[in-house]
Amino acid sequence: MTLTAELGRKLYTNMWRIRLFEEEALRQTSLGSVKGALHMYCGEEAVAVGVCAHLCDDDYVLGTHRSHGHCLAKGAPMERMMAELFGRTTGSCRAKGGSMHIADFSRNILGANGIVAGGIGPGTGTALASKIRGTDQVSVVFFGDGAAARGPFHEGILFGSLWKLPVVYVCENNQYQQWVPRKNVAVVDSVADMAASYAIPGVSVDGQELEAVYAAAGEAIERARNGGGPTLIEARTYRFYGHSLGDRQEYRSQDEVDEWRDGQDPIKLFATFMKERQWLGDDEDEAIQASVKAEIATSVAYAEESPLPGPDDVTTDVLDTEWRATA
Ligand SMILES: Cc1ncc(C[n+]2csc(CCOP(=O)(O)OP(=O)(O)O)c2C)c(N)n1
Ligand SMILES: [Mg+2]
């Protein structure tokens, strides 16, 4: 799939959808409407959007604790995501997931999760299921650079390679693991180099450049779909906000953050890329941002008008304890 003006505008819009959705979620948190942890993906939008652009509806995506971008890029309806953050029964997980466990099974988005590297095993498992069933579904697992230091990374990629599974492992190397700079704890610079240990291709890309992510992901997803097995993609990126709410960010300087925000914003970079090719005019740019703002407002109204769960909801969609007692 080649990047065209039309597709470019769609992907550009999707990056804005993620950026403004999250900024609104942050605002709603300060107003008390959204409760619980909030891990902001702002700054990393080109990774989710560039990868998910190649996925079909029934392909699988597994996320991290920082997954609003993965969900929106894979096609989760925004209003149901907003309702989930507001803790409403119309939310994509009927208020039982919240930000950190958000999922949308109707789009084969199997979920964010709070366990670092927690998606790698299940994502390898869905790829095994696709292979056994003989479908052409691909699984994409997103994880952070911190996850690449954990056991499930090694175990998952080993089995993915051994069984030549249709899976793409996407490491979002944002250079920090909570409050620990990767450079203080890593023994190899590039996560992509670790692919050699499992005899699969490893590719390192600039995660701020949508077109670079799009190209690398296209090749990897095609390889996976055609029986060529897994690829490990490292997207070098940066998160603009702290690790989570209330992070005082004493481990990095304001100058560093400003440099990335000013010079390495994936949305600004892709706008320049599009404008240089005459794929996007200033009026269209404004219209895109206005339409996304309208979508955000609609999703907030939807969430606000939706009911909160009641006491009866506590026992729905959870493991049946009576069944467990007799099983
Ligand atoms: C198994 C496990 N260990 C520790 C934590 C605490 N923790 C939450 S996020 C995080 C850092 C994750 O870093 P990375 O994988 O690079 O993802 P990022 O937050 O940078 O996107 C840690 C250590 C956890 N949630 N799970
Ligand atoms: Mg990280």
Place of tokens 């479908």: 135
Which range of residues forms the domain containing residue 215?
5-326
Instruction: Tell me what the pLDDT averaged over the chain comes to.
Output: 96
194: which 2 tokens?
Answer: 């670790």
Looking at the 3D structure of the chain, how many domains does it have?
A: 1
User: Residue 317 has what pLDDT?
Assistant: 83
pLDDT per position as a tens digit, 209-251: 999 999 999 999 999 999 999 999 999 999 999 999 999 999 9
State the distance from the centre of ligand 1 to the C-alpha of 320, rounded, in angstroms. 31
Global pTM?
A: 0.97
Angstrom distances, CA of residue 200 to CA of 27, 139, 243, 307: 42, 16, 31, 48
Which residues in the chain land under pLDDT 50?
327
User: Residue 61 has what pLDDT?
Assistant: 98
Residue nearest to atom 25 of ligand 1 (CA): 115
Residues at Cβ < 5 Å from ligand 2 ion: 144-145, 174, 177
Q: For the domain that residue 183 is a member of, what is the CATH number?
A: 3.40.50.970
User: Residue 318 has what pLDDT?
Assistant: 80
Please work out whether the CB of residue 144 comes within 6 Å of at least one atom of ligand 1.
yes
β-pair type (180-181, 176-177): antiparallel
Residue nearest to atom 3 of ligand 1 (CA): 116
pLDDT per position as a tens digit, 256-295: 999 999 999 999 999 999 999 999 999 999 999 999 999 9
User: Residue 325 has what pLDDT?
Assistant: 55
